[in-house]
Amino acid sequence: MHGDPEWSTIEATIIRWFYQTVSKDIFQTVVAEDDDACVWAKINALFTDNKLQRLVFLQQESFGCHQDNSTIDKYCMRLKMLVDELRDIGAKVSDNLMLSTLTAGLNEDFGNAASNLTLLSQPTFQRVVTYLKLEERRMTKLKQRV
């Protein structure tokens, strides 16, 4: 495809996008002076090597994830990010396990809300997050009135 102007334009666009979206830290970690197309393979290896150790670490981190003083959004995003990382390395994480981990990590302000989750028919992670966000909003308004 060398010499094809359309292909050269597409290739330049992809390379430009790639270099603009990879974080500087990751880029500097993997790129050497004489690298060519193997850069993507190096970045992929950075996140997929040592699967067993990463699996253990990520499982510990996800099971130990607690809301503490953060908002429901931040807490759920953190948990979702950990689960996505687990799935990226091939770990199976069911919706039920995500819900159990989410519920176990809620702070004491959400005690009643956590109990009410059993009332949801066919709870999914997304439905529970939506419910908890509404509950957080309700509690905020209640505190403002008091």
Ordered by start, the domain boundaries in the chain are 5-48, 51-145
pLDDT digits (tens, 9 = 90+) for 63-122: 999 999 999 999 999 999 999 999 988 899 998 899 999 999 999 999 888 888 888 888
- Scanning 22-118, the segments in alpha helix (DSSP H) are 24-30, 39-48, 51-63, 72-88, 95-104, 111-116
- pTM of this structure: 0.67
> In angstroms, what CA-CA distances link 2 with 5, 9, 10, 12, 51?
8, 11, 12, 12, 38
d(C-alpha 10, C-alpha 14), whole Å? 6
pLDDT digits (tens, 9 = 90+) for 33-58: 776 667 777 877 877 778 889 899 99
